[in-house]
Structure 1
Amino acid sequence: MEKYSQFRDRGSGIAPFFPVLSQPAGLYMPVHIFLFLIKLPLLITISTTYFLFLQWFPLGSLLKKAILWLILGIPGIWWIDLQIDGVKKGSLAKKHEGRVPEPGNVIASSFTSPIDSLYLAAIFDPIFTVSYPHTRQVQYISLFGAIFRALSKPREYPPKGAKMTDLRTLVAEHPTRVIVVFPECTTTNGKGIMPFSPSLLTAPPQTKIFPISLRYSPPDVTTPIPGLYWAFFWNLLSQPTHCIRVRIAEVVYNTSKPSDTTAEKKEKYLSNFMDTLGEDSATTSSTDTLTSLNDQTAEVNADERRVLDKVGEALARLGRVKRVGLTLRDKLAFVEAWSKRR
C-alpha cells in the first residue's frame, strides 16, 4: 500500500478510499457459502419485485417501509444501535420531540455503503439527492439511484442534462418529506470525513439539519471502491448478521449569510456569456460553461464555512473519526490508480 501513500491524509495518515478487508472465513467457509447461496435468490427476488413493480403502486408509506425492512432483514441486518445527542437510552419516546428528523427537515448523512440509503428509506421515507463539490445545487434521485450511486464511479460535475435544483426549492415543494443530502459527494470506508459540498448552504435558515452517522459491523460492507458489486454482495450475504450503529447529532441551522460577491460574479458571468454567444470567437462548450459557472457559485465565505464545519465536526464526532483534506478529485485519481493495479 506504500505506492498509494499520496492518498493518505497528510495530517492524520487516514486513508478513506482503501477497501476494508474481510476477516478470513477459515473453517467456516462452507457455512458462508451456504448462507450466500440461500440469501442471494431471496434478495434478488424481493428487491426486483419491489423496485420494478411494487414501488409504483399506491401501497402507502407503512407497507413500503415494511418491504424495505424485509430487504434489510434478508442479509441479517437485525441489530440497530441508535443513539441521539441529548437523549438517554430508553427515554427516546419521552424526549423525542425535535431530536429526530421529521417532514420538512434535512438529513446530512455519512456516505459509506448502499445500505445507507436503504436504511434511511426504511425509517424516514425521504427524498434523496446527489451533491457535487463545485455547485450548491443538488440532483433529485430515486432510492434505487441512491443505492446504485454508492457502487458507481463518483462524478465531479453533474451529468449533461441533469435536472438540478436546491434544498430551498425541495423543502418548499415537498413539505411532507425529509430531504437526504450526502455532502461528502462520494463514498468512503468510514474512517474519515471528506470536505463538504456547499449544497447544504441552500437550506432555508429555519430548516433543521440533522447530521447522521451510519457505521457497520463488520465494516467490510462499505464500498469506497466503485464497481465491486460481487465483493459487496459476498460480504453482505455470507455473514450471519450485521449491525448498524446510528448516531444522530443535535440540530444545525443554516445561519450563514451569502456574500454579494458570489451573486455578482454569477450575474456578470452570465451577462458576458450571453453577449458573446453569437460571436464566432465564442467557442466555449456548454460543459466548460457549466463548469465555470458552478465553480463560481460554489465559493463560500467565512460565515458559510462555519456552518459546513459545524456539520462536518458533528459527523466526525459521531463516527469517532477525523476530518480529512482529501477531495473527490483525489478519490477519482485513487480509483484510476487502483484500477490499473487490478
Structure 2
Amino acid sequence: MEKYGQYRDKSTGIAPFFSVAPPASSPLLLPWHILLFTIRIPFLIVAWLVWLLAVQWMPAGSMFRKATQWCLLGIPGVWWIDLQVDGVRRGSLASGPKGRLPGTGTIIASSFTSPLDVLYLAAIFDPIFTLSEPKSRKVRPISLESALASCFAVPNPLELNSKVEPTELAKLTKRNPNRVIVVFPESTTGNGRGILRFSPSLLSALPNTKIYPVSLRYSPPDVVTPMPGWIEALKFIWRLNSRQTHCIRVRIGGPMSLAAPSVSTLEASPAVKSTGRSNNTVGKSYDSNFFDDFEASPSPKNNCDDGTDDEVEMNDSERRALDSVADSLARLGRVKRVGLGVQEKAEFVHAWSKRRA
C-alpha cells in the first residue's frame, strides 16, 4: 500500500479512499448470511418497484412516500438509529426550543460515505437532494435514484446528471420554501475516516438560511462506498442484505448561517461548548454505542485550505464560513478534516484500476 502513500493526507496520514474491510466472520455463518440475502432481495425488489412505478410521483412528505422509504431501509435490517442533537438533553427534544432539527426552508450539509446516507435522509426529511460541483458555487437538484447512483460514480457524479441545469442554493430554496435541501459538500464519497475538501457550493445559500451539519456513520462500517463501479455496488448490496442488523449513528449539529458561521443560531448547552460533544440523545439510545471509542479532534484548518478549488475566489469571511461547517461536521463525526477531494480521488481510482488490470 506504500505506493499509494500520495493519496493519504499529509498532515494526518488518513487514507479516505480505501474500502473498509468487513469484520471477521466465521465460515460456519455463511449459510445464514446467504439465507438472509435470498429472503430479503425479493422484498427489496418489490419495494423498489413500488417506489419507481407509483410512490415517487406522490407529493413530498405524504404517508405513502414515508412508508416506502422506511421499507427500503428496514428490509435490509437498518433498524437501530443512535441519534444525538447538539444542545438537547436526553429525551427533551419535544419540550425544548424549536429549530433544533432541520425543517422546511433549511439546508442540510451532510457527510457522504454510503447510499445509506441518502436513504436515511429521504426517510426522515423527504428532501431535495443536490450534487455539488467541485469547483463551483452551484448545485444540481437530483432525484433519490440519481443520488444513490452518485455514490458509485467518479471522478464527478455530476456526469450522471449532465442534463440538469446547475443552480444556486438561494434560488433553489426560494423555489421550494416547504422542502429541506440536502447538500453533500464533499462532492464525492469517502470511507468515513475523514472529511474531504469542501466544494464552495454552500456559499450560494442566502446569508440567513439555516445550515445544519449532519454526520452519519455505520456499524459495521464496511457499508461505506468510497470506490466506484458496479462491482462495488454488488458488494454493497451483499453486505447490506446479508447481515441481521445495521446501526446508524446520526449526529445533528446546531444550525449555522453564512451571516454568523462561527456560532450556532441556537446556543448549545455548556456540555457541548466545553467538550465538543453532545451527550443528549433522542430516539433509540444506548448507554454506550459502537462509536464511543473513536477520537474526535478536528485537524488544522490548513489541511483544507491547501488546494481548495483554485478556480473559485473566496474572501476571508466566506472561507471562515465554509471552515466552520466543515469543522462542525468533523466534530460530529469524531474524525479529522483532510486536504483531499474529487481530483485526488479520481487519480487514486485510476492508479488502483491500473494495479488490478
- Structure 2: tracts of 5 or more residues without a match: 262-308
Q: Does structure 2 retain, via aligned residues, the 8 Å contact 1:133–1:157?
A: no
Q: Which position in structure 1 is the counterpart of 2:226?
A: 224
Matches within 5 A, 1:109-120: 109-120=110-121
Matches within 5 A, 1:37-116: 37-58=38-59, 61-95=62-96, 97-116=98-117
Structure of higher CA gyration radius: 1
Choose between structure 1 and 2: higher helix proportion: 1
Please report how far the alpha carbon of residue 2 of structure 1 lies from its aligned counterpart in structure 2 after TM superposition: 1.6
Task: Give the match's secondary structure for 2:152.
Answer: coil
Please report how far the alpha carbon of residue 242 of structure 1 lies from its aligned counterpart in structure 2 after TM superposition: 0.2
Matched, 1:203 2:205: yes
Please report how far the alpha carbon of residue 59 of structure 1 lies from its aligned counterpart in structure 2 after TM superposition: 8.4
Q: Out of 315, 337, 343, which is 1:323 matched to?
A: 337
Q: RMSD between aligned alpha carbons?
A: 1.8
Amino acid at match of 2:14: I
Q: Does structure 1 retain, via aligned residues, the 8 Å contact 2:155–2:343?
A: no
Q: Which position in structure 1 is the counterpart of 2:322?
A: 308
- Structure 1: tracts of 5 or more residues without a match: 258-293
What is the alpha-carbon distance in structure 2 between the residues aligned to residue 21 and residue 205 of structure 1? 42
TM-score normalised over the length of structure 1: 0.85
Q: Does structure 1 retain, via aligned residues, the 8 Å contact 2:150–2:157?
A: no
Task: Give the match's secondary structure for 1:133.
Answer: coil
Please report how far the alpha carbon of residue 93 of structure 1 lies from its aligned counterpart in structure 2 after TM superposition: 1.1
Could you tell me the percent identity over the aligned residues? 56
Task: Give the match's secondary structure for 1:243.
Answer: strand
Matches within 5 A, 1:109-188: 109-155=110-156, 160-188=162-190
Please report how far the alpha carbon of residue 295 of structure 1 lies from its aligned counterpart in structure 2 after TM superposition: 6.5
Matches within 5 A, 1:11-50: 11-26=11-26, 27-50=28-51
Q: Residues 256 and 162 from structure 1, CA distance in 2 versus in 1: closer, same or farther, beyond 3 angstroms? A: farther
- Farther off after superposition, 61-70 or 214-223: 61-70
Q: Does structure 2 retain, via aligned residues, the 8 Å contact 1:135–1:198?
A: yes
Q: Does structure 2 retain, via aligned residues, the 8 Å contact 1:206–1:253?
A: yes
Q: Which position in structure 2 is the counterpart of 1:6?
A: 6
Q: Deviations over 1:229-267 (max 9, x none)?
A: 11101110111000000000011111289xxxxxxxxxx
Q: Does structure 1 retain, via aligned residues, the 8 Å contact 2:106–2:181?
A: yes
Please report how far the alpha carbon of residue 71 of structure 1 lies from its aligned counterpart in structure 2 after TM superposition: 1.0
Task: Give the match's secondary structure for 2:187.
Answer: coil
Q: Deviations over 1:216-239 (max 9, x none)?
A: 100111000011111101110111
Amino acid at match of 1:314: S
Name the count of aligned residue pairs.
Answer: 305
Q: Does structure 2 retain, via aligned residues, the 8 Å contact 1:25–1:32?
A: no
Amino acid at match of 1:152: A
Q: Does structure 2 retain, via aligned residues, the 8 Å contact 1:133–1:156?
A: no
Q: Does structure 1 retain, via aligned residues, the 8 Å contact 2:141–2:164?
A: no
Task: Give the match's secondary structure for 1:165.
Answer: coil
Q: Residues 59 and 3 from structure 1, CA distance in 2 versus in 1: closer, same or farther, beyond 3 angstroms? A: closer
What is the alpha-carbon distance in structure 1 between the residues aligned to residue 81 and residue 342 of structure 2? 30
Please report how far the alpha carbon of residue 160 of structure 1 lies from its aligned counterpart in structure 2 after TM superposition: 4.9
What is the alpha-carbon distance in structure 1 between the residues aligned to residue 3 and residue 18 of structure 2? 12
